[in-house]
Structures are given as C-alpha cells and as structure tokens.
C-alpha cells in the first residue's frame, strides 16, 4: 500500500477517532456533571442524548455540504466544529451552555460520520479500499477506548471538564492535517477539474494503466448526469437508497450500543459487585473492540465483505442468544458474571471485524458518484436515528420485556441481517468504485 494513501486515510480517520471519543466520554463524565450542576434525571438523560440530535442534523446536512464545498473542506469544517464543541463544553459555566457545547460536538460527529468514510473511499485504490475505510472504524474504536481510559484517569478528582476538553487535541490535528491533504479526485472530476483530478489519481496508483482505468470509469459514471435529491426519484436509485438505509439501521438495532453505552450497567445486572469492576470489564470490552477491527483491515479486501459479515453476524447471534439464555436461567446466576463478560467480549469482537467497519465501507461504495454524498448522508442519518432509539429505549425495553426477551430480539435481528445481506447486498471486493452496481 502506498504510504501517501495511508497518510491521507489516517488523517481523515481522525474524524472517526473524535466520533468514538465524543460518544464514549460522556458515560463517565455525566456522573460528575450531574453532581456539579445538580441535574435532575431528565436533564441528565438529555445531556447524553443532545449529542445524538446534533449527529442527526450533522449527518443530514453533510452530504449537501460535501457536494458544494468539497469533501476536504467539509472534513476541515468538521474539525473546527469538534474544536469549538470541546471548548464550549469544557468551559461551560452552566447546564444550558453545556447542552449547546454537546450539541455542537454532535454536529461534528454527524459531519465526520458521512464525510470521513466518503473521502477515504474516494481517495483509495480499489484493492485496498476495504482496509483503508476500515481504518476509520479502527479509529472510532480507539476513540471509544481512549474515552473510557480518560474517564477512568480523571474520575477520582471528578474533573469532567478535562474529560470533555481533551478532544481539542485530535481536533487540532484534524484541522491541521486537512489543510495539507488533497481534495478527493472523484470530487474534482465531479466539479469539472479533470486535470487536477488526474494528477491526484497518479499519486494514488503506481502504474499509469491502473490510473487510466479509474479515470475512464469515473468519467463514464458522470455521464449519467442526474444528481441531487431528484435522482432518488429513479427506481434504481431508490433501491440503492433502500439498501443503504436498511443496512445502516440494522447496524444499530442488532444492539451494539447497548453494550458500548450501557456495558457497565449490564455487568451490574449480571452480578458484578462494584462499579469499578464493571468499568474495568468495560475497558476490556473496549480493547477487544479495537483489536478485532484489525481482522477486518487484514481480510476485508482478501476474503470480501459478505463472508466477513456472515461470520460476524453469526457470532453476534450466538453471543446474544447465550446472554439471553443465561439471564433466563436462575440456576446460572452464580456464573452469570463470567458468562456475561465472555459473551459480551465475543459479541463485540464479532461486530468489530464485520458490521462495524463493513457498514461504513458499503455505504461509501454502493452509491454512484453523482449521488454518493447525498446517499451516504441519508443512510447515515438513519444510522443515527437507530442509535438514538436503541440508546433511549434499551433500559425501558429491559424493564418492559425482561432481559432474556430483549437480548433475544437483538439476536433475531442478526439473523434478519444475514438474510438481508445474502439477498440484496452486492460483493464489492476489488471492484473499481464506479463499477460497483447494485442490481434489483
């Protein structure tokens, strides 16, 4: 892989790192914010969910912005928004300002969750595109893990301002990095700057023939000149959008964030004695999440997207069924803690090499260039809506249906996803980005 492409993808992946950090950090910080500002329960929940509202708005608008000002400038803007959000949150004199700060952070996450994978995918050569976009997911998991560790480090002194404020560091690196990064060659073609685009592509490919092949297929894809929301009037485009949105929602409703956001609570339900033991168990889960993403980076371009998805989803199904079974059997209560830790590690590990990275990869691949940014925007918006619903209603679901039924529903949805992928999702391994076709 060319060092140049790896560098470009790594800088863009910082958007993922901030996504992970800023979604993960609040779980520890909220305890101290609640104490300092004397928050009632409802306001406490809103402090957590206001980020997701920002994410939805950010994701919804990101595609249009990326088409107007370019991928590079949008990611640069995301860096500025992350920076501003971190400063406002960390220095907030009262709850109202803090809520604004967290909302701004959410906007940054929403922007980068659309534009970072889009940009990486558009810069990457076909044979390493899977690994490079998976790098973005890897950065998300590093961000989540870093957030757990930072929370842990500042917990004894209750310094929530530092927890939220530290996000300025990667924001500044993202801002600085995007100043010197190139624009996506695909975007340059789209806005008619063919010469510049060609020379960008030559930096990506070793051999001139490969770069010429890319140019040809990009120019070809731009000949079908329907862009913007109008394009989704065509049945073929609506069909791709349907696949993108459904996959994005499935990634959330198979339950990943019940474990990422509520892990410590689940460990306590399973009988872990102390809060600190639960938090420690959660860092183990975070480490597994991070390390297992490497499996995707190594295999996604060799084995392909669909086989990895099948394997991962089958594992997630097994882990969730085990968890449901263990919660349903009172005689297992003695070993429930161990079973819970084991199945949650297994579940997260399986997600990490499959649905985690491959969702973002597929979303960046299945839409034709004229509607790519908008298609990603709408699908990513659906991902955030799914995230919002699961994270808002998980505890209520447990109270209403019980633990075994709740985890069984998530398990069943893993099977639904396997069937969906088998029936409708194309294998995109090694294909030139503009030659990927979704056929009805």
What are the residues binding ligand BGC (CB under 6 A)?
A: 137, 140-141, 144, 251, 256-257, 260, 289, 356, 383, 387
Residue 86 C-beta: closest distance to ligand BGC, Å: 19
Nearer to ligand BGC, 18 or 369 (CB): 18
Residue 220 C-beta: closest distance to ligand BGC, Å: 32
**CA 153 – CA 139 distance, rounded (Å):** 21
Nearer to ligand BGC, 114 or 260 (CB): 260
Residue 304 C-beta: closest distance to ligand BGC, Å: 19
Nearer to ligand BGC, 137 or 211 (CB): 137
Residue 392 C-beta: closest distance to ligand BGC, Å: 14
Residue 257 C-beta: closest distance to ligand BGC, Å: 5
**CA 289 – CA 260 distance, rounded (Å):** 9
Residue 53 C-beta: closest distance to ligand BGC, Å: 15
Residue 391 C-beta: closest distance to ligand BGC, Å: 9
Nearest of 163, 164, 329, 319 to residue 255 by alpha carbon: 319
**CA 14 – CA 11 distance, rounded (Å):** 5
Nearest of 44, 33, 155 to residue 90 by alpha carbon: 33
**CA 13 – CA 245 distance, rounded (Å):** 22
Residue nearest to ligand BGC (CB): 356
Nearer to ligand BGC, 221 or 289 (CB): 289
Q: How far is CA 405 from the centre of its chain?
A: 27
Residue 254 C-beta: closest distance to ligand BGC, Å: 11
**CA 136 – CA 122 distance, rounded (Å):** 13
Nearer to ligand BGC, 193 or 287 (CB): 287
Long-range contacts of 4-9 (CB under 8 A, 24+ apart): 4/203, 4/204, 5/123, 5/124, 5/125, 5/128, 5/132, 5/204, 6/132, 8/120, 8/123, 8/181, 8/182, 9/120, 9/123, 9/124, 9/132, 9/133, 9/135, 9/136
Nearer to ligand BGC, 53 or 210 (CB): 53
Residue 322 C-beta: closest distance to ligand BGC, Å: 20
Residue 205 C-beta: closest distance to ligand BGC, Å: 29
**CA 277 – CA 85 distance, rounded (Å):** 31
Work out the number of other CB atoms within 10 angstroms of the CB of residue 94: 9
**CA 219 – CA 334 distance, rounded (Å):** 63
Nearer to ligand BGC, 141 or 221 (CB): 141
Nearer to ligand BGC, 110 or 356 (CB): 356
Residue 387 C-beta: closest distance to ligand BGC, Å: 5
What does the block give as tokens for 100? 């604004």
Q: Please report the DSSP string for 351-403 in residue order.
A: HHTTHHHHHHHHHHHHS-GGGHHHHHHHHHHHHHHHHHHHHHHHHHHHHHH-H
Q: Do 320 and 343 meet the contact criterion of CB atoms below 8 Å apart?
A: yes
Nearer to ligand BGC, 363 or 369 (CB): 363
Nearer to ligand BGC, 170 or 370 (CB): 170
**CA 393 – CA 388 distance, rounded (Å):** 8
Q: Helix H segments across 157-193? A: 160-165, 168-180, 185-190
**CA 135 – CA 116 distance, rounded (Å):** 11
Nearer to ligand BGC, 121 or 141 (CB): 141
């Amino acid at each position: 892989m060319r060092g140049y492409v790896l560098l470009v993808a790594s800088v863009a992946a910082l958007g993922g790192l901030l996504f992970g950090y800023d979604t993960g950090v609040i779980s520890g910080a909220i305890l101290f914010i609640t104490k300092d500002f004397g928050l009632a329960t409802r306001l406490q929940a809103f402090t957590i969910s206001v980020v997701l509202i920002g994410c939805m708005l950010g994701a919804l608008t990101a595609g249009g912005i990326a088409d107007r000002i370019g991928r590079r400038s949008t990611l640069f803007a995301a860096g500025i928004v992350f920076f501003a959000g971190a400063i406002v949150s960390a220095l907030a004199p009262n709850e109202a300002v803090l809520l604004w700060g967290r909302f701004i952070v959410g906007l940054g996450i929403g922007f980068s969750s659309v534009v970072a994978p889009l940009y990486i995918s558009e810069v990457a050569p076909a044979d390493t595109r899977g690994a490079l976009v998976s790098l973005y997911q890897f950065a998300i998991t590093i961000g989540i893990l870093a957030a757990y560790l930072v929370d842990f480090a500042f917990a004894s002194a209750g310094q929530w301002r530092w927890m939220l404020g530290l996000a300025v560091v990667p924001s500044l690196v993202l801002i600085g990095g995007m100043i010197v990064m190139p624009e996506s060659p695909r975007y340059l073609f789209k806005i008619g700057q063919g010469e510049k685009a060609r020379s960008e592509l030559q930096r990506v490919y070793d051999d001139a023939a490969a770069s010429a092949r890319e140019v040809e297929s990009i120019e070809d894809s731009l000949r079908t000149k329907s862009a913007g929301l109008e394009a989704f009037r065509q049945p073929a485009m609506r069909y791709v959008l349907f696949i993108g949105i459904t996959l994005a929602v499935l990634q959330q409703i198979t339950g990943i964030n019940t474990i990422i956001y509520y892990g410590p609570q689940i460990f306590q339900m399973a009988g872990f004695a102390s809060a600190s033991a639960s938090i420690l168990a959660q860092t183990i889960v975070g480490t597994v999440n991070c390390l297992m993403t490497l499996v995707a980076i190594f295999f996604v371009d060799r084995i392909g997207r669909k086989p990895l998805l099948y394997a991962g989803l089958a594992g997630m199904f097994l882990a969730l069924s085990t968890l449901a079974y263990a919660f349903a059997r009172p005689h297992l209560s003695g070993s429930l803690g161990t079973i819970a830790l084991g199945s949650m590690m297994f579940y997260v590990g399986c997600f990490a090499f499959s649905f985690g990275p491959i969702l973002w990869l597929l979303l960046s691949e299945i839409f034709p260039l004229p509607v790519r940014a908008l298609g990603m925007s709408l699908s990513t918006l659906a991902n955030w809506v799914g995230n919002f619903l699961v994270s808002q209603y998980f505890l209520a679901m447990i109270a209403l249906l019980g633990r075994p039924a709740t985890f069984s529903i998530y398990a069943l949805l893993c099977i639904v996803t396997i069937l969906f992928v088998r029936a409708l999702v194309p294998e995109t391994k090694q294909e030139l980005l503009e030659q990927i076709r979704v056929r009805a």
